[in-house]
Amino acid sequence: MRRVRNRCTSRFRCSCIVSCSLIGFIFFAIKFNSKQTQPSVCVPKNPDNEVIDRQDEWQYKNSVTGQWYHWRTLYIEQKNQAEWRVNWLNVAPESYLGVIVYLAVYSEIQSLKISLAQLSRLLSNNPRPVVIFHEGDFSDNDIQQSLAQTLGIRTPLAFEQIKFSNNSFRTKPVHRRFPPKYFHMCRFFTLMLPSHPLLTLFSFYWRLDTHSYIFGRKPIEDPFDIMQNRKIQYAFTMVNVDDELHAYGLWSIFHEFLKDHCLEPSTAFRITQTGWFDSYSLAIIFTNFAIANVSLFRDHSLIRAWLHKVDLNGGIYRHRWGDAPIHTLILTQLIPRTQVARFRYFGYMHRNEYVCATGINGRFCKAQTKPLFTGPETSYYYHPAGCNPHDGNPLCHYYPEITL
């Protein structure tokens, strides 16, 4: 009996050792395997490594010395750097808090004059400097003086000549109906403007188009003061949706960018930029009116990396990617909701689309816009909330609205 029991115990011991090692082996095998299949820890790319400090083929000219310089897309603040000199018409700026900028061609001088007159009227309590970037169209002294007169003697005005170049290496556009200058404009506002030396003089820039008109019944509170006092980094007035054709491929390179930098889509990005089944909502800030901290698109390393990635891709020229979707994607991803605002305390019209200030409805809105309906053949579209489409644009009321 004892021997039997003994044999049994030893057999039991053996099988126990065997099964224990088997279990142990399986356990380790699973553990080892799972370690292999588990996603490895994400190592973000250094955003600065993606930025190429090349001498761009674009150029700008100093309005005092007449000297031409090659643009650089990487701005580096240098000690003892000579201040950019500007030939101010009317009067020199009293404050360098903000500058209003246009990129204009001579054929649009009529609408530019309306735009300037509206600015001058609405900012009459606190005139702000205006700078017109151009490719030589506004070099003539008489033209410059006439625009200075439109603004009035209290508003500083300057002209900055720039030169786009015929870059033969650039990708050929898919959409033939746009003139070559249109693509340059997209690139100018996407990443070139903030690295122009004029911008180093100012804290904020306010971009308008020649056919951008602000309007209201009386002078408005200064937008730059509001930006500064409320610590806003970026402000706009209208939102829209982009044409799918002009955003071709942008969604996937943005996701590539997120992956490269180990970023999860932010809440604002998911709510405003993501549509059904993770598709692109195409909702855009209508960036033809935009006020931004100059530093935002120039010094923020991740934003800079994104803009350079976009530029190198060539999609601006190939598909006519606009600065609107390019900026909207990155702003929603990286800038806190409280630092972005929609200005709704005055009216704004861009070409044939307009919005009145919050609370100005019906005939009051009509009375304000009537003088601006200058195209007899044009149909004008009123967006009561400043959003197109009115229902279902996820950007519409997402950011805080300033109505005063």
Ligand X SMILES: *[C@@H]1O[C@H](CO)[C@@H](O)[C@H](O)[C@H]1NC(C)=O
CB 368 within 8 A of CB 348: no
Range in contact with ligand X (rule: CB under 6 A) among 161-169, 275-283, 316-324, 327-335: 161-169
CB nearer ligand X, residue 108 or residue 225? 225
Angle of helix 250-260 relative to helix 323-334, nearest 10 degrees? Answer: 30
CB nearer ligand X, residue 79 or residue 231? 231
State both tokens at 195. 């690295």
Min CB(204)–ligand X separation in Å:
7
Min CB(165)–ligand X separation in Å:
5
Distance (Å, whole) CA 338 – CA 146 = 41
203 binds ligand X (CB under 6 A): yes
CB nearer ligand X, residue 143 or residue 302? 302
Range in contact with ligand X (rule: CB under 6 A) among 162-170, 187-195, 248-256, 326-334: 162-170
Angle 106-373-181 from CA coordinates, rounded to 5°: 30
368: helix, strand or coil: helix
Distance (Å, whole) CA 320 – CA 326 = 11
Report the site for ligand X in 292-321 (rule: CB under 6 A).
293, 295
CA contacts within 13 A on the Cβ side of 74: 16
CB nearer ligand X, residue 183 or residue 280? 183
State both tokens at 199. 């911008």
Min CB(295)–ligand X separation in Å:
4
Min CB(164)–ligand X separation in Å:
7
CB nearer ligand X, residue 141 or residue 166? 166
Min CB(309)–ligand X separation in Å:
20
165 binds ligand X (CB under 6 A): yes
166 binds ligand X (CB under 6 A): yes
Q: How far is CA 19 from CA 26, 29, 72, 212, in A?
A: 10, 15, 69, 80
DSSP for 279-297 reads: -B--EEE-TTSEEEETTHH
CB 220 within 8 A of CB 124: no
CB nearer ligand X, residue 246 or residue 261? 261
Min CB(180)–ligand X separation in Å:
8
User: How many residues belong to the site for ligand X (CB under 6 A)?
Assistant: 8
Q: Are strands 130-134 and 212-215 parallel, antiparallel or unpaired?
A: unpaired
CB nearer ligand X, residue 62 or residue 228? 228
Report the site for ligand X in 236-295 (rule: CB under 6 A).
293, 295
Min CB(322)–ligand X separation in Å:
23
* Out of 149, 171, 200, 228, the residue judged to bind ligand X by CB under 6 A: 228
**Which chain residues interact with ligand X by CB under 6 A?**
163, 165-166, 203, 228, 231, 293, 295
